[in-house]
Chain A
Amino acid sequence: MSDKTSPSAPTRSPRLDPLPNPPLPGLDPGITGEGRVGATLPPLLAQNPRLDQWVGFPAAGQVRVSTGRVEIGQGVLTAMRQIAAEELDIAPERIVLRTGDTELTPNEGYTAGSQSIQFGGVALRLVCAEVRGLFLDRAAASFGYARADLAVRDGAIVYRGEPTGHDYWSLAGAVDLSRSATASTPVKRAAEYGIVGRSAPRTDLAAKVFGEAAFVHDMAMDGMVHARVVRQPRRGATIASIDEAAIRRAAARGGEGAPIEIVRDGNFLAIVGTDETVVEVVAAVAPGHVAWDGVDPLSPFQEEARWLLQQPSLDREVGAPAADPAPGQIRREATFTRMNLSHASVAPSCGVALYRDGKLEVWTHSQGVYPLRAALARTLKLDPALITVHHAQGPGCYGHNGADDAAADAAVIAMRRPGVPVRVRWRREEEFGFEPVSTAMVTTVRATLDAAGRPADWTTEIWSGRHTNRPGSGGNLLAAEALPDPPGPPPVTESSAQPGAGTRNGEPLYAFAAKRISHHLIPETPVRTSSLRGLGATLNVFAIESFVDELAAEAGADPVAYRLSILADPRARAVVERVAQMSGWPAPSQPSPASGGGQARSQPSPASGGGQPPFEPSPAGGGGQGGGGAARGRGIGFAQYKNLATYAAIVAEIEVEEVIRVTRVWCAADGGLVINPDGAINQLEGGIIQAISWALKEGVRLDSAGISSRDWESYPVIRFSEVPEIECELVNPVSDNPPLGIGEATGGPTVAAIGNAVARALGTRIRDLPMTRDRVMAALLKT
């Protein structure tokens, strides 16, 4: 690094002082894992205190480990095995892992928010250390060994390195694990690790590579029937008429056909049959034979993020009081938008349910078996003690998709067909059309600059629909809304304080003297919205990091040097510096203003205007024309996810003619102690690739009937030929720093880095996502 890009660190600015917010209904703060409830026990242990809820020794040589966390494609089961094996001093192969089951595992709420390792893994680690300590205490007390000379080696208790003849299994009867955890046994230090911190292969991957029945979709049970739901087009819509004869004719398929049943309760309507092919054919045509009342048409204009600006909102401000700028101070402002996004999981949602002997069993790829059980109990008016919810794997899950709804569909039908296993697998168009989408957003960033061109006062103003709308937090299940006596609309409330939802990462980590967030929560949106990987952080980081680049250019500073001049946190600085080194920043072909080659050609605009760009970088300002007529550029983006999880800095290199193509990406990330380095890098890479797709291609389309982008052509996602070379590096991964959530860390920084690279290449900035061909052409017309 040259001196130019390593100015001395500024002093830290205080973090926003959050105003009090009401807790989210239905979410026990202890279960979210955010913040500690008691003074001694982490919240997950306070919620699930008994040691034997987590660990047991069921048979010689076996260790039972239970985690409430579930596999959603992120590799968490492998990491949990590593954590338990490390602290128990056993071979990971001895572990029989139980996961996400209301009968068998602790209640850890949702597997969401990049919290599985940061909170669930840390709780498991404390439990395992304590269990190991209890066995050593017992061995010392029973057999007269000096406690300090005892250790465990693959489950065997050794004294000064020699076998004692005792092990976990021989002593299991003498150690009572039905006691409460104290979380007082010290865990290992990083220097002692032999399993944690080393890459371990995913334990679930082989079954998938060999085509075994690895997913809930693959479940088959004796006598199982298949079902599809004819969806209520809108909340509150009622069935006006059904042409049952026409639906049954579709089942005949020109011949004898397999019989189908039509299940109806209120406005819940389903097709059920033993032959899935027939059920699917009927379900495809059935919506055409049902007329609904109470369906107000939507306007396609509602798909645009700026529609939110005209809506009634719940307004809240956190942070520094509003300040009047002194005369002569320079103010800048820019506005960024994003459309609604689909989760677009590669498979539509699926659930299986069986009601037998007065008890309901459900298999689901939901992120939270306990919250789903509570929601099912409310919907079915059934005692939760009579419901068991088992997690079974599904397609990659990036937030609240249709999984809970599909499970509820199956449960509702199963309750009406006692003794018959019911499998509901949504249709592709149903998944795109009815899963909760991630809300469109508008983010305006505003700064008053000091004499050096650095922000002295910063405002992030955010307009957003709801990001948290899960069944457990007051959101409803689709089936519940269609049944008689539907619940009222879920309450609208969302924290504006860290880590927030719409406001997530709305506070820049940079050391600005005064920072505030102005949050406009729009309660009524045209379609149901809920959480998607990153929540509000994706657009907020895009806005903040884009604006920081614009301010850097206005100050004539290199984007990396400018960031370092306003970034105090040493871990944040380290990832920014590292990604600059990795990418050879500034690229030889991309002279930065500060390095002299490109010079600052930017013209500071005379005054800021609503949403107007503060300046237009010239095409030659870094990047410019490459070979073959394509303009090229590199950009950087940085964030610490939620301002309390993993630090990630990204450099993206792009080329653009009519469409933008990302050609290379570098990533440096500090996630504290990393359990499984290869698994963590897989998550960082996956986040980068998904974010490229968000940035360039994705936006939910609406027509008068609702979501109209119901297949992979109208909702395109990134394809193999569009994936760049990616280089990820973990900074200081084996350390005594606590593990930080990593799964959502790269999304915002990647979108921001692409935006900054595009601005360099085009000489003008695209502030609305996705950055499609149409928007590139419109931007080029402006230059």
Chain B
Amino acid sequence: MPTTSLTVNGRAVSVGADPDTPLLDVLRNHLGLVGAKFGCGLEQCGCCMVLVDGKPEKSCGKALSAVAGKNILTIEGLGTPRAPHPLQQAFLDEQAGQCGYCLPGILITAKALLDHNPAPSRAEIARALDDNICRCGSHARILRAVERAAAQMCGEAGR
């Protein structure tokens, strides 16, 4: 089996897997990172969203060979319970979730949005998240949580 090198959450890794293996399977089954979820395998729901060199990508449709040498950020790399990312803290503060299955993908999409637009409007947040499906109906809370995180991060940046 050929080996492919990439960086995941800041750590260099070498994966021995078929180069056609979807990045999502590499993360979940080869690297034990189960934060990114399988939702459809069709690049339609956003449950598997990760950042590839800073850009949000659906990892179910991204072959391992296409991410060789690249930097991957998954939800596990965003923050931890001891050092949560402001987005994660805001989602907890707003209780923005019901089943929570969609949240890792949504948090990653939101992270990508705030990276290039630190003070988005409500409509801009919604448009950015249109690639992610939430079926439980937590949308209103999720939008508020992203706003809250943006405000907090802007405040920190200004200090």
* Interface of A toward B, CB cutoff 8 Å: 72-75, 201-202, 204-215, 217-218, 220, 253, 255, 257, 275-277, 280, 344-348, 393-398, 425, 427-428, 678-679, 682-683, 685-690, 711-713, 717-721, 723, 725-726
B134 and chain A: residue at smallest CB distance? A346
CB pair A721 B137 closer than 8 Å: no
CB pair A346 B133 closer than 8 Å: yes
Residue B155 interfacial (CB < 8 Å): no
CB pair B133 A719 closer than 8 Å: yes
Contact partner of B76 (CB less than 8 A), chosen from A210, A276, A713, is A210
Query: Are A428 and B40 CB-contacts (below 8 A) given A73-B98, A396-B101, A687-B137?
Result: yes
**Interface size of B as a range:** 35 or more
Query: Are A346 and B139 CB-contacts (below 8 A) given A209-B92, A396-B98, A723-B126?
Result: no
Contact partner of A277 (CB less than 8 A), chosen from B18, B81, B140, is B18
CA distance A673 to B42 in the complex (A): 44
Query: Are A210 and B75 CB-contacts (below 8 A) given A74-B98, A218-B34, A428-B41?
Result: yes
Segment 14-47 of B: residues with Cβ below 8 Å from A: 17-18, 20-22, 25, 28-29, 32-42, 44-45, 47
CA distance A399 to B133 in the complex (A): 19
Residue B152 interfacial (CB < 8 Å): no
CB pair B140 A396 closer than 8 Å: no
What residues of A have a CB within 8 angstroms of the CB of B75 in the complex? 210-211
CA distance A425 to B37 in the complex (A): 12
CB pair B45 A209 closer than 8 Å: no
CB pair B29 A209 closer than 8 Å: no
Per CB-CB distance, the 5 closest pairs between chain A and chain B, nearest first, are A211-B35, A208-B100, A73-B99, A689-B137, A686-B137
Nearest chain A CB to B76's CB is how many angstroms away? 5
Residue B84 interfacial (CB < 8 Å): yes
Q: Beyond A208-B103, A276-B29, A685-B138: 12 further Cβ-contacts under 8 Å?
A: A207-B100, A210-B35, A210-B79, A253-B18, A277-B17, A346-B45, A346-B47, A396-B101, A683-B98, A686-B98, A723-B126, A726-B140
Query: Are A428 and B139 CB-contacts (below 8 A) given A209-B92, A717-B133?
Result: no
CB pair B135 A345 closer than 8 Å: yes
Residue B12 interfacial (CB < 8 Å): no
A344 and chain B: residue at smallest CB distance? B135
CB pair B101 A347 closer than 8 Å: yes
CB pair A720 B99 closer than 8 Å: no
A721 and chain B: residue at smallest CB distance? B126
Residue B72 interfacial (CB < 8 Å): no
CB pair B38 A347 closer than 8 Å: yes
CB pair B44 A209 closer than 8 Å: no
What residues of A have a CB within 8 angstroms of the CB of B127 in the complex? 720-721
Residue B117 interfacial (CB < 8 Å): no
CA distance A182 to B74 in the complex (A): 52
Nearest chain A CB to B20's CB is how many angstroms away? 7
Interface centre among B42, B129, B134, by most chain A C-beta atoms within 10 angstroms, is: B134
Residue B66 interfacial (CB < 8 Å): no
CA distance A206 to B35 in the complex (A): 12
Residue B70 interfacial (CB < 8 Å): no
Residue B8 interfacial (CB < 8 Å): no
CB pair B41 A217 closer than 8 Å: no
Segment 41-72 of B: residues with Cβ below 8 Å from A: 41-42, 44-45, 47
Residue B107 interfacial (CB < 8 Å): yes
Q: Mark B89-122, 1 if CB is under 8 A from A, else 0.
A: 0011001011111111001000000000000000
CB pair B91 A209 closer than 8 Å: yes
What residues of A have a CB within 8 angstroms of the CB of B102 in the complex? 346
CB pair A396 B99 closer than 8 Å: yes
CB pair A712 B133 closer than 8 Å: yes
Nearest chain B CB to A422's CB is how many angstroms away? 15
A683 and chain B: residue at smallest CB distance? B98
CB pair A395 B135 closer than 8 Å: yes
CA distance A721 to B102 in the complex (A): 16
Contact partner of A427 (CB less than 8 A), chosen from B37, B41, B45, is B41
CA distance A201 to B96 in the complex (A): 10
Query: Are A204 and B34 CB-contacts (below 8 A) given A209-B91, A428-B39, A711-B42?
Result: no
CB pair B138 A346 closer than 8 Å: no
CA distance A255 to B1 in the complex (A): 10
Interface centre among A210, A276, A678, A725, by most chain B C-beta atoms within 10 angstroms, is: A210
Nearest chain A CB to B84's CB is how many angstroms away? 7
Query: Are A688 and B137 CB-contacts (below 8 A) given A208-B103, A217-B37?
Result: yes
A-B contacts, 29 listed (Cβ < 8 Å): A72-B99, A75-B98, A204-B100, A205-B91, A205-B95, A211-B33, A211-B34, A213-B34, A217-B37, A218-B28, A253-B18, A255-B18, A277-B25, A344-B135, A346-B99, A346-B133, A689-B139, A711-B40, A711-B44, A712-B42, A712-B133, A719-B133, A720-B125, A720-B126, A720-B134, A720-B142, A721-B123, A723-B126, A723-B143
A687 and chain B: residue at smallest CB distance? B137
Residue B80 interfacial (CB < 8 Å): yes
CB pair B47 A347 closer than 8 Å: yes
A727 and chain B: residue at smallest CB distance? B140
Interface centre among B32, B38, B100, B141, by most chain A C-beta atoms within 10 angstroms, is: B100
CA distance A719 to B45 in the complex (A): 10
What residues of A have a CB within 8 angstroms of the CB of B35 in the complex? 210-212
CA distance A220 to B34 in the complex (A): 10
Residue B154 interfacial (CB < 8 Å): no
Nearest chain B CB to A727's CB is how many angstroms away? 10
What residues of B have a CB within 8 angstroms of the CB of A711 in the complex? 40, 42, 44
A201 and chain B: residue at smallest CB distance? B95
CB pair A720 B129 closer than 8 Å: yes
Contact partner of B92 (CB less than 8 A), chosen from A205, A425, A690, is A205
Query: Are A690 and B126 CB-contacts (below 8 A) given A72-B99, A211-B104?
Result: no
A258 and chain B: residue at smallest CB distance? B18
Residue B136 interfacial (CB < 8 Å): yes
Contact partner of A73 (CB less than 8 A), chosen from B25, B37, B100, B132, is B100
B127 and chain A: residue at smallest CB distance? A721
What residues of A have a CB within 8 angstroms of the CB of B130 in the complex? 719-721
CB pair B92 A206 closer than 8 Å: yes
A257 and chain B: residue at smallest CB distance? B18
What residues of A have a CB within 8 angstroms of the CB of B22 in the complex? 277
Nearest chain B CB to A682's CB is how many angstroms away? 6
Interface centre among A202, A218, A720, by most chain B C-beta atoms within 10 angstroms, is: A720
CA distance A209 to B149 in the complex (A): 14
Query: Are A277 and B29 CB-contacts (below 8 A) given A73-B136, A206-B81?
Result: yes
Contact partner of A717 (CB less than 8 A), chosen from B41, B97, B135, is B135
CA distance A210 to B39 in the complex (A): 18
CA distance A712 to B47 in the complex (A): 13
What residues of A have a CB within 8 angstroms of the CB of B135 in the complex? 344-346, 395-396, 398, 690, 717
CA distance A712 to B60 in the complex (A): 15
CA distance A427 to B40 in the complex (A): 7
Nearest chain B CB to A228's CB is how many angstroms away? 12
Nearest chain A CB to B29's CB is how many angstroms away? 6
B102 and chain A: residue at smallest CB distance? A346
Nearest chain B CB to A657's CB is how many angstroms away? 18
Nearest chain A CB to B126's CB is how many angstroms away? 4
Query: Are A253 and B20 CB-contacts (below 8 A) given A211-B36, A347-B38, A396-B136?
Result: yes
CB pair B81 A712 closer than 8 Å: no
CA distance A726 to B144 in the complex (A): 12
CB pair A208 B97 closer than 8 Å: yes
Query: Are A682 and B133 CB-contacts (below 8 A) given A209-B88, A253-B18?
Result: no
CB pair B97 A205 closer than 8 Å: yes
What residues of A have a CB within 8 angstroms of the CB of B37 in the complex? 215, 217, 347
Query: Are A720 and B139 CB-contacts (below 8 A) given A201-B92, A712-B45?
Result: yes
CA distance A73 to B99 in the complex (A): 4
CB pair A685 B137 closer than 8 Å: yes
CB pair B95 A682 closer than 8 Å: yes
Nearest chain A CB to B79's CB is how many angstroms away? 7
